[in-house]
Structure 1
Amino acid sequence: MKKLFIFILLTSTVFSQEKKDTLFIAQDSIIESNNQFLFSDADLDLIDSLLVDQKFQSALVDSLSYIINDKDIIGNTDTALSTDLLKVRLSNLNDKTPFNLAFNPSLEKVINSYLLYRKRYYPGLMAKAKYYFPVFEQYLDQYDIPLEMKYLAIVESALRPQIKSRVGATGLWQFMYGTGIQFDLKVSSYVDERQDPVKATIAACKYLSELFTLFGDWDLALAAYNSGPGNVRKAIKRSGGYKNYWNIRPYLPRETADYVPAFYATMYIFEYANEHNIYSELPKFFNFQTDTIQIKRTISFDQISEKIDVDEDILSELNPSYKLDIIPFIKDRKYALRLPSDKIIEFLDKEKEIYALADTDDAQREKPLPKYFEMDQRVRYKVRSGDFLGKIANKFGVRVSDLKRWNSLKTSRLKIGQRLSVYPKKLGK
């Protein structure tokens, strides 16, 4: 049973309307006892499920504990993983890594909880990992950081490069603005390099290297990455000078106390996925199936998509650092476009056409709609599941840039049920 403050924390997360309605139904079933509001077990199962879904699916991650509720750490025995088998497996992992993966009951409960409540998310995460892990491993090796540190990005962001916490931590490695600037991650109106998989990974490697130099221990470096080195120093002092993570854990902030076990649990599940019948989905791309090209003027994703056969959603997925789906051209800071490798030649063949289209669009910017677009010729279109701007533009014989201009859209992202104003060309000619 849980107190009401848990519900207040959970409802701060951004939910779909359907999930909000479900949460409010759960809220109505709260039991009042001794002037304290408590959840029933059924409510807790529902809320835990919805929140974990938000953590792995939403574009916004709230600052939730890495262990969602007390059920995660109290008596979950509904699992095929025996204590003796877990001890053997953790010992095998411990022999291969510089982390302290010794068995303890707290870690066992976290692993069992993840297997029980979060198993369905791992096939999708593993598919993303097939794309991102080779990038991580390249730079982790370059900076002499244990390759297993790649699992940290799963704990931080569920491998969603555009994810942002409610306090502003952003990207795969969840850098705050100030820390990002400290490690040369630029943020502008157009670009957030905290969302760039390569640049953010390099920054994370530099930061982790500094933390290891400071503490001489990778477990403590992990804890400091989450809560800052000051909190780790204070925990060491309050513990009486101990420097083993498990000895100082009671003196760390609650979130950090849960953070390192979450990392260990994630490592265990990825390393022993087959033994738990967890198999990866197919990734959309492997990293080696993509390549980059330097652009020579400011261009937008819809202009690229209009000239070469690549959907804007793919461009956004491969180029997550561009906040407005626009690649700026800055003389002293070069920005590149990442494309599927088989589209590079097509881009080069049509590069002049793309830049000419961008010139035309720039010349038309801020001009009013043509006179033949009368108000009675406007169509109000409701976005349906599976719609994207290119599909809607083709349906009405208009351009994506027109749809954006008519509806004051800064990006190409749409929501189901959203209303768009469209002025079909066939009505104006």
Structure 2
Amino acid sequence: MIRNVLVVILCVLFGLNAPAQEKINKLDSISPISFLSTTYTGDTTAVPLVLENPLFYNYNFTYKKRLDSIQREIPLTYNESVQRYIDVYAGRKEMMGKMLGLSEYYFPIFENALKAFSVPAELKYLPIIESSMNSHAISRVGATGLWQFMFTTAKGYGLNMDNFVDERKDPIQASYAAARYFKDAYAELGDWLLAIAAYNCGTGNVNRAIAKAHSRDFWAIRPFLPMETRNYVPAFIAAIYVMNCPDKHQIMSQKSLFAIKTDTIQVSRYVSLTELAQALAMQEEDLCTLNPSYKKKIVNGSPELPKRIIMPKVSLASFASIYEVLNDHTVEVSPQIIQASNDDRRIRTKHREVAEDRPAVVYHKVSAGQNLTTIADQFGVEVQDLKVWNKLKGNNLVPGQKLIVSKNAGAVRHSESRSGKKYISYREKSNGLSRSSGRL
């Protein structure tokens, strides 16, 4: 009798889970990212959605033991949410194989930056779930680069964005900025899992979740965090697990472009990456991939502010032509530096919604003693505008009369004429050595 009851219970549990597991598989079928593409423009949010299940039926003591063995400074909790992301990433064998290959180049860069600010080396795994270690990754809201910095945060941590460079895409500069952020977040929150959550949703959201949960434990405040952040920390722990135990899941490291020996040089003049690639006898796209922060394929170095170029180690045979490009060639481009504007797509969406909600016409009810001149002065418009908008033939007004005192188009034109300034929009014309990024 007891045996029959157990069989029924197991059937019910696995039967109920089957549709959910099928849905997870569908959610996990994400198109592969071109990791070395410099033209990727899609959403690079790499944290897949998994379904929550209150019944943890597949607890795996082996996985927990492995996580315990690799834990250092950041707690690597094992639970159902972590297990689900382990299943996801362990199943993405090609993607994780590429991550293993890219890690040979990127991890030493990340480790140096993290060490400089005395923050845990395990944070080097975050770019896997942030950007799939793609320097050109851009999220749906405008977060950019390996560490997915938003414009304002990047500015606050010393990264420069102008018409020549976007340092959010520079692996070295962005890594030091990320390390500084983590140091500040930990100083405020006092817990590494909370600091990691803050990197995804901001310290404000984390502090509000702490207040609601009356706890400073990530797993206790997790239900009060934004959905993406709830999944972010389990995905981070799962990525650490898979990157440290690839052989346990038949994941093989894939060789990447970065598996070459490189040299770093500083230049104090303008250098064309296109011309340098020709001198190096390599693909232009590959050299740009090694130097992802230069928008126009031009390195705008100067004596006051030299710029870095990373390139493959060169032979003596090609040294003469390379020297000529670095020292004798003139790059025909305007040296004017134009600071980039905020590229947060949420701000643009909000401005657009405000503009759409703004009434097209503003009305005013005439009070006793008012005339066209006083009303025009009150609303900052011209008397003639009031006459045109209201089809008035004379200057006489009647108390209680309803007048149009503002139209959006008319107000804009008037503000331009009163200030003496004219605003025009323009599109930069690219020359042979540059390309439009569309994200200034």
Which TM-score bucket, shorter chain as reference? 0.5 to 0.7
Deviations 1:299-334 (A, max 9, x none): 212211233323212211110110121111344322
Is 2:27–2:48's contact at 8 Å kept on the other side of the alignment? Answer: no
**Partner SS for 1:148:** helix
Judged with a 3 Å threshold, the aligned counterparts in structure 2 of structure 1 residues 65 and 82 are, in CA distance, closer, same or farther, namely same
Q: Tell me which residue corresponds to 1:314.
A: 286
Deviations 1:12-70 (A, max 9, x none): xxxxxxxxxxxxxxxxxxxxxxxxxxx99989856642x35249687235275723353
With structure 1 as the length reference, what TM-score do the two structures score? 0.67
Is 1:291–1:344's contact at 8 Å kept on the other side of the alignment? Answer: no
Q: Tell me which residue corresponds to 1:119.
A: 93
1:254-269 alignment, distance < 5 Å: 254-269=227-242
Is 2:264–2:308's contact at 8 Å kept on the other side of the alignment? Answer: yes
Q: Tell me which residue corresponds to 1:275.
A: 248
Q: Tell me which residue corresponds to 1:87.
A: 64
**For residues 325 and 43 of structure 2, what CA distance do their matches in structure 1 show?**
43
**For residues 283 and 250 of structure 1, what CA distance do their matches in structure 2 show?**
39
**For residues 251 and 232 of structure 1, what CA distance do their matches in structure 2 show?**
9
Aligned equivalent of 1:227, options 186, 201, 206 = 201
Q: Tell me which residue corresponds to 1:103.
A: 78
Letter in 1 for 2:48: I
Q: Tell me which residue corresponds to 2:400.
A: none
Letter in 1 for 2:72: T
**Partner SS for 1:99:** coil
**For residues 239 and 406 of structure 1, what CA distance do their matches in structure 2 show?**
54
Q: Tell me which residue corresponds to 1:172.
A: 146
Judged with a 3 Å threshold, the aligned counterparts in structure 2 of structure 1 residues 42 and 90 are, in CA distance, closer, same or farther, namely closer
Aligned length: 323
Is 1:54–1:61's contact at 8 Å kept on the other side of the alignment? Answer: no
**For residues 319 and 165 of structure 2, what CA distance do their matches in structure 1 show?**
22
Q: Tell me which residue corresponds to 1:67.
A: 48
With structure 2 as the length reference, what TM-score do the two structures score? 0.66
Is 2:273–2:287's contact at 8 Å kept on the other side of the alignment? Answer: yes
Q: Tell me which residue corresponds to 1:194.
A: 168
**Partner SS for 1:165:** coil
**Partner SS for 1:264:** helix
**For residues 313 and 433 of structure 2, what CA distance do their matches in structure 1 show?**
29
Judged with a 3 Å threshold, the aligned counterparts in structure 2 of structure 1 residues 293 and 150 are, in CA distance, closer, same or farther, namely same
**Alignment RMSD, CA only?**
3.3
Structure label with greater radius of gyration? 2
Aligned equivalent of 1:297, options 262, 266, 269 = 269
- 1:214 matched to 2:188? The reply is yes
**For residues 221 and 181 of structure 2, what CA distance do their matches in structure 1 show?**
22
Judged with a 3 Å threshold, the aligned counterparts in structure 2 of structure 1 residues 75 and 323 are, in CA distance, closer, same or farther, namely farther
Mark the runs of 5 or more structure 2 residues left unpaired by the alignment: 1-18, 335-428
Structure number with the bigger relative contact order (C-alpha 8 A, sep ≥ 6) is: 2
Is 1:131–1:283's contact at 8 Å kept on the other side of the alignment? Answer: no
**For residues 196 and 61 of structure 1, what CA distance do their matches in structure 2 show?**
19
Deviation at 1:231, TM superposition (A): 0.4
**For residues 331 and 76 of structure 1, what CA distance do their matches in structure 2 show?**
61
Deviation at 1:210, TM superposition (A): 0.4
Is 2:47–2:231's contact at 8 Å kept on the other side of the alignment? Answer: yes
**For residues 262 and 208 of structure 2, what CA distance do their matches in structure 1 show?**
45
Letter in 2 for 1:176: M
**Partner SS for 2:95:** helix
**For residues 60 and 27 of structure 2, what CA distance do their matches in structure 1 show?**
28
Deviation at 1:168, TM superposition (A): 1.2
Letter in 1 for 2:114: L
- 1:334 matched to 2:306? The reply is yes
**For residues 52 and 407 of structure 1, what CA distance do their matches in structure 2 show?**
34
Mark the runs of 5 or more structure 1 residues left unpaired by the alignment: 1-38, 364-404, 414-429
Q: Tell me which residue corresponds to 2:32.
A: 53
Judged with a 3 Å threshold, the aligned counterparts in structure 2 of structure 1 residues 215 and 40 are, in CA distance, closer, same or farther, namely closer
Is 2:114–2:121's contact at 8 Å kept on the other side of the alignment? Answer: yes
Is 1:157–1:171's contact at 8 Å kept on the other side of the alignment? Answer: yes
Task: Return 169-178 or 310-319, whichever deviates more.
Answer: 310-319
Deviation at 1:343, TM superposition (A): 5.3
Deviations 1:94-115 (A, max 9, x none): xx32222232122212212322
**For residues 269 and 431 of structure 2, what CA distance do their matches in structure 1 show?**
25
Is 2:271–2:325's contact at 8 Å kept on the other side of the alignment? Answer: no
Identity among equivalent pairs (%) = 34
Judged with a 3 Å threshold, the aligned counterparts in structure 2 of structure 1 residues 309 and 252 are, in CA distance, closer, same or farther, namely same
**Partner SS for 1:358:** coil
Is 1:303–1:358's contact at 8 Å kept on the other side of the alignment? Answer: no
